[in-house]
Structure 1
Amino acid sequence: MFGVASFYAVLGVPMSARSWLITSALTVAAVTLVGCAQPTPEPSVTPVAEPVHWSYDGASGPASWAELDSSFETCAVGTDQSPIDLPATVPAPSTSIRLSAEDADGDVFDTGHAVEFESDGEGETLTFAGDEYSLQQMHAHVPSEHTVNGQPAAAELHLVHADADGRLLVLGILVTEGQASDALMPFIEAATHVADEEDVTMDVSAVLPPSLENYEYSGSLTTPPCTEDVQWVVMSTPISMSAEQIGTLEGAHSHNARPTQPLGDRVVVGGTADLDVED
């Protein structure tokens, strides 16, 4: 069988032209092969799952949280859930915690369920049972989630803390209507325009009530996924906020409170606290 060069020789094509013709033929063949090749498939992209919608009323409210997503199952089957109804009388103190508070810087924004202050990691720390927790964020519920002898307060602040291993402790502060809180003004003012994040500085020590006597019990997050093994410390003495301040928080999120959960076999104990204020 003739090769390409022999074929051109038989035809009498001059040697000088044979190289050009052979090169051209090979180029056409290469282009043809490339054109017939299978296209490279586009890399597959895994769609990002949309967050599960939950709320405080209707079909997506607390009674249905466990049905909205399998990861919310604990909201229904958990035995150590929060909030709870606290006794009218604080049990005799059997523990003592230490609070070390200084100004905390962070951002205020709307999570879609509450107005929240997110700390930059510096500021207030809390020592409980020898373990140190640092303030992560603070948010508000209107009305309160914990009740005392069956009665809710006008509002409740949750100061969420975490230790080095990620274990959570939530400091709850009940709020009654009365004198305005100067310490909470940066948080309240930012809550009126949380479409954009607001940088604020919070004097955490000034937010605390004058008495640090408290209720303590083991519970859970009060929002999905209702994770348990959360230590709760709820101050027995409320702080006050003006009707206007409470109204501002209520205007952002009205009735964002989970109903109280059964206490079960748990025991609520009393505690005290020492406060170290750092300049």
Structure 2
Amino acid sequence: MSARPWLITSALTVAAVTLVGCAPPTPEPSVTPVAEPAHWSYDGASGPASWAELDPGFAACGVGTAQSPIDLPATVPAPSTGIQLSAGDADGDVFDTGHAVEFEADGEGETLTFADDAYSLQQIHAHVPSEHTVNGRPAAGELHLVHADAAGKLLVLGILVTEGPASDALAPFIDEATHAADEEDVTMDVSAVLPPSLEHYEYSGSLTTPPCTEDVHWVVMSTPISMSVEQIGTLEDAHSHNARPTQPLGGRVVVGGSAELGVEG
């Protein structure tokens, strides 16, 4: 005797429901977690002596042979190179990177020409005390004016800071240092930040913070600028002792240089 059609339909429906209920869940698409940047600092277990061990990308901090900063000679070698500076007002934001107070420029305030290559100002940040030393002695502070060319190659202009009269040119930057988390817009007169003499040291080095990338050209002004005790104290309150110790010079040669300044209208 043949089965009734409605019984067959019911049986198939139950079987289908059973199969759906027992089917394994559809796997979620895999997502590769994004690695958090390694935490580094200027002291303790994450300080400069340990930077190379914190992240494989920081290896140059330990094995690099052209690292910065360095101890500069007391006497500037006779100038053998020259740069041209074209400086004017630079607009940008002031904010705290977690390691320094930084002015991020819009790329239009200052250009620097070295070896026929044009570099534009990217940012300015401060270290207290200085990272470079002269004849073994640090200065009260140091400004780094970081430049890049069209290919991304870096040139850093270092300016040493001593205690003395207040710097009016740096006042907009320093005034925002205590609340830099707000990313305030400021205008900086870059030409007024520079020292009166543009004689300088030059050498090939690296970033002074992880990942300590090498092939960075350094131009360190031999004449310091001054800031008041209060201005230096403001930067120190934001980040105290954010300076990497000097690194071995090795086979590198420090040369002297000169510069010409053209002020943009």
Q: How has the CA–CA distance of structure 1 residues 25 and 105 changed in structure 2, closer, same or farther, with 3 Å as cutoff?
A: farther
Deviation at 1:159, TM superposition (A): 0.6
Could you tell which deviates more after superposition, 96-105 or 241-250?
96-105
Deviation at 1:110, TM superposition (A): 0.9
Superposed CA RMSD in Å reads 1.8
1:7 is matched with which residue? 4
The residue identity in structure 2 corresponding to 1:7 is R
1:238 is matched with which residue? 224
1:66 is matched with which residue? 52
2:183 is matched with which residue? 197
Indicate whether 1:259 and 2:249 are aligned: no
Q: Deviations over 1:167-208 (max 9, x none)?
A: 110000000111111111111011011222111111111111
Residue identity (%) = 86
Count of aligned positions:
265
The residue identity in structure 2 corresponding to 1:272 is S
Deviation at 1:219, TM superposition (A): 0.5
Deviation at 1:35, TM superposition (A): 2.9
Q: How has the CA–CA distance of structure 1 residues 277 and 26 changed in structure 2, closer, same or farther, with 3 Å as cutoff?
A: farther
Q: Tell me the SS of whatever aligns to 2:224.
A: strand
The residue identity in structure 1 corresponding to 2:194 is L
1:93 is matched with which residue? 79
Deviation at 1:31, TM superposition (A): 4.2
Deviation at 1:77, TM superposition (A): 1.4
Could you tell which deviates more after superposition, 254-263 or 51-60?
51-60
1:58-137 superposed matches below 5 A? 58-137=44-123
Q: Tell me the SS of whatever aligns to 2:179.
A: coil
Structure number with larger C-alpha Rg: 1
Of residues 222, 229, 232, the one that matches 2:215 is 229
Of residues 228, 236, 243, the one that matches 1:250 is 236
For normalisation by structure 1, the TM-score amounts to 0.89
Give unpaired runs (5+ residues) of structure 1. Answer: 9-17
Of residues 153, 166, 186, the one that matches 2:172 is 186
Q: 2-side partners of 1:79 and 1:38: how far apart?
A: 57
1:11 is matched with which residue? none
Give unpaired runs (5+ residues) of structure 2. Answer: none
Indicate whether 1:34 and 2:31 are aligned: no
Of residues 273, 276, 279, the one that matches 2:259 is 273
